[in-house]
Amino acid sequence: MGNGPLSGVRVIELAGIGPGPFAAMLLADLGADVIRVDRASAVRDGQAAGGTDFTNRGKRSIAIDLKNERGREVVLRLVEKSDVLLEGFRPGVTERLGIGPDDCLARNPRLVYGRMTGWGQEGPLAHAAGHDVGYIAITGALHAIGRAGGPPQVPMNLLGDFAGGSMYLVTGVLAALLEARASGRGQVVDAAIVDGTAHLSTFIHGFLAGGIWEDRRGVNMLDTGAPWYDVYETSDGRHMAVGAIEPQFYAEFLRRLGLEGEDLPAQYDRDRWPAMRERFAAAFRTRTRDEWTEVFVPSDACVAPVLSLTEAAEHPFNTSREVFPELAGHRQPAPAPRFSRTPAETDGVPVLPGGQTRAVLDDLGFDDAETLLKEGAVAQA
């Protein structure tokens, strides 16, 4: 539990993978008391979810046998003392376990019940398996990413799972939590990755409707179609990222690249973009990435070196802002965003399944902890 803006908020997280745990981590980073409900079998089988799974940092874990009637009752008793529950199972699973929305809201009418899925709680694909790449494919986002004439490029699972999923779950939960404090009534938040990913592309749909975006890859202003919004290889095989959109920034880009005053096409002359790209590429190949970094950074040319994950953690800009502090013996992304009065913080230690079972039960006033342990309803690592 931290001292961030969500201090005093208690969240029950039913253990899962991917966007659900990340959403719970974000709430923990912001100060919420996140109690992760792991499977009791994970403790008995010796499974370790801690280690370097940083999405489990800043939480406490209680291991419960959800198929045990007493275990189910423990979850409902936790719900009575909590503000939020997060789950990421397929639709209907928590209902069958007896800890669905109706079960939980009956115990705590103010509860915000956050549900994380790929396809949503309803619809023809609701019960189908899926992963990030499929979710962003069906929303049109994947089709739009890539170079002209090439296949769609998979942007890891940042766009669907974590941007379209986790962030929208957190936004929905916080909005519902705020409303519950005014109305006294909780509700279900249906956070589907397809919904969130589609919503993220709102501005692109506006461009499309306005006739300033083509429904093709690699031919538009922000998808590598424009030569002044792209990446270029340097003499050492590394890359520089260019985003010189505005005329004044474009002029500064040309000046620092050494092309000021040369006979170049007009910035928005699409027919001559290929020729412009060749000039830029030839110029960037004359120096190393680090040499170009000295030329461009800092400036208003909107050019930056393309850093690897390891390099990013050690870059002077990132170290000056402590973007990747050392936590629990590893470089980890710091909590974000930042607050002036109630700073978010984390110890960075990933929780182990059942590591705090006894402590959680004692802290929440359970007087039958030992009985629950003996009966196998819960397990302590």
- Per-residue pLDDT of 294-337, as tens digits, reads 999 999 999 999 999 999 999 999 999 999 999 999 999 999 99
The mean per-residue pLDDT over the stretch 242-271 comes to 96
pLDDT reported for residue 364: 92
Does residue 34 sit in the same domain as residue 167? yes
pLDDT reported for residue 51: 82
With H, G, I as helix, E, B as strand and everything else as coil, classify residue 86: strand
Does residue 189 sit in the same domain as residue 90? yes
Per-residue DSSP letter, 108 = -
Tell me whether residue 131 is one of the annotated catalytic residues: yes
Does residue 46 sit in the same domain as residue 140? yes
Per-residue confidence band for 3, with pLDDT thresholds at 50, 70 and 90: confident
Catalytic residue among 127, 131, 205, 330: 131
Task: Look at residue 40 and tell me if it is in a domain.
Answer: yes
Task: Look at residue 2 and tell me if it is in a domain.
Answer: no
Task: Give 219-232 pLDDT, tens digit per residue.
Answer: 999 999 999 999 99
Q: What is the CATH number of the domain that holds 267?
A: 3.30.1540.10
Does residue 132 sit in the same domain as residue 166? yes
pLDDT reported for residue 44: 74
Task: Look at residue 223 and tell me if it is in a domain.
Answer: no
Q: Of the residues 325, 340, 370, which one is the last residue of a structural domain?
A: 325
The mean per-residue pLDDT over the stretch 263-287 comes to 96
Does residue 370 sit in the same domain as residue 306? no
Does residue 239 sit in the same domain as residue 190? no
Domain span at residue 264 reads 229-325
Per the structure, the count of domains in the chain is 2
Q: Is the pLDDT of residue 125 over 70?
A: yes
The Cα–Cα gap between 108 and 10 comes to 13
Q: Is the pLDDT of residue 281 over 80?
A: yes
Task: Look at residue 69 and tell me if it is in a domain.
Answer: yes
Q: Of the residues 304, 325, 346, which one is the last residue of a structural domain?
A: 325
Tell me whether residue 199 is one of the annotated catalytic residues: no
Q: Please state, rounded to an integer, the average pLDDT across all residues of the chain.
A: 96
Task: Look at residue 3 and tell me if it is in a domain.
Answer: no
pLDDT reported for residue 48: 56
Half-sphere exposure of 162 (CA within 13 A, CB side): 11
pLDDT reported for residue 150: 97
Does residue 152 sit in the same domain as residue 289? no
Q: What is the CATH number of the domain that holds 74?
A: 3.40.50.10540
What ranges in 164-308 are assigned the alpha helix state H?
Answer: 167-183, 193-200, 202-209, 247-257, 273-284, 289-296
Catalytic residue among 38, 65, 132, 161: 161
The Cα–Cα gap between 88 and 100 comes to 12
